[in-house]
Amino acid sequence: MHIDLHKIPQASPDDISGLDALIQAGTLNPSHIIAVLGKTEGNGCVNDFTRGFATQTLKNYLGQVLGPGAAKEIVYIMSGGTEGVLSPHLNVFTRQPSAPDAMPHWGLVMGVSRTRPFAPDEIGALAMVKTVAEAVHVALAEAGLQPEQASFVQIKCPLVQATQAEGLKRSSYQSMADSRGAAALGVALALGELGPDPMTPDMIGRNFEIYSKTASASAGVELQNCEIFVLGNAAHATGNLVIGQAVMHHALDLDAIHQAVANTGQPATQIVNIFAKAEADPRGTILGCRHTMLDDSDISHTRMSRAVVGAV
């Protein structure tokens, strides 16, 4: 398996000029694209329509290049919010069979999958946890990875809109957190990160003793199912990429970033991209000091935490 990653800056959510230039130059074969992970400049909240706008633009463009059927097979994951020094861009992953004379080595492999659509009452519930776990197993098998070899699992999951929330007693914004929590626990279940104790509905997004060290979950209004990709290192890779992973224990944990880089075995000058997921510490403190991100009524704490972690 040969995986490549093309990082392409964007001037706007509908800017595909960089992608088109790579395709026209023959640098990127569009038939090899299996996933696009993008960072858009919206607010990252319920009403962030830049994600859907970017996704629609990509689908329309690749539908013309590849045909609508082939374009729909690609996993599109748009994450909103480029606060602070973050910059809007696309990460285009390509996968192709190894050349006959290629020498396999320890390196990056990748698998993708998607779940069925979820009903509003399933989003953030145990049904979602179990369904995501099954889909993660599919992506692992496609990549040729064992669960313990997975370094990073990215999921785009749905949320419950106000018109769908009747009788569910939660806001659309709360449903984003519930959806991310259920998706992350689905990853934890698939990868064996959870213990043998049974999970109950009230644990999702509320019991911080159970979590995944590998999952990155992003919720949005632009889809009703989950789209997933799994990254890990394995001996059947023939590309030039490798992945390293570490857990940030707080939003200023620079040591964890150095550790993730060191885990690749490559110099920092060779970094293509760093994918990080964070939010404000729910305890209201960081390194023993009080923070006010959770109390700000004007700006979502997720926006503040993205700016902090992006700067780190």
Please indicate, yes or no, if residue 225 is contained in any of the structural domains. yes
Read off the CATH number of the domain in which 138 is found. 3.30.1330.180
| Structural domains of the chain, count | 1
Q: Supply the pLDDT for residue 163.
A: 82
Please indicate, yes or no, if residue 122 is contained in any of the structural domains. yes
**Catalytic residue numbers, as ranges:** 156, 218
**Dihedral, 295, 301, 303, 306 alpha carbons, nearest 10:** 130
Q: Supply the pLDDT for residue 279.
A: 87
Q: Domain of 225?
A: 100-237
Q: Supply the pLDDT for residue 197.
A: 83
Q: Supply the pLDDT for residue 195.
A: 81
Please indicate, yes or no, if residue 1 is contained in any of the structural domains. no
188-209 exposure pattern, b = at least 16 Cβ within 10 A, e = fewer = bbbbebbeeeebeeebbbeeee
Please indicate, yes or no, if residue 66 is contained in any of the structural domains. no
Task: Report d(CA 79, CA 205) in Å as an integer.
Answer: 20
Retrieve residue 136's tokens. 């993660």
Below-50 pLDDT ranges, the chain: none
Q: Supply the pLDDT for residue 230.
A: 98
Please indicate, yes or no, if residue 157 is contained in any of the structural domains. yes
Please indicate, yes or no, if residue 149 is contained in any of the structural domains. yes
Q: Supply the pLDDT for residue 256.
A: 96
Please indicate, yes or no, if residue 199 is contained in any of the structural domains. yes
Which tens digits make up the pLDDT trace of 177-193?
A: 999 999 999 999 999 99
Please indicate, yes or no, if residue 302 is contained in any of the structural domains. no
Q: Is 267 exposed, middle or buried (0-12, 13-18, 19+ CB in 10 A)?
A: exposed
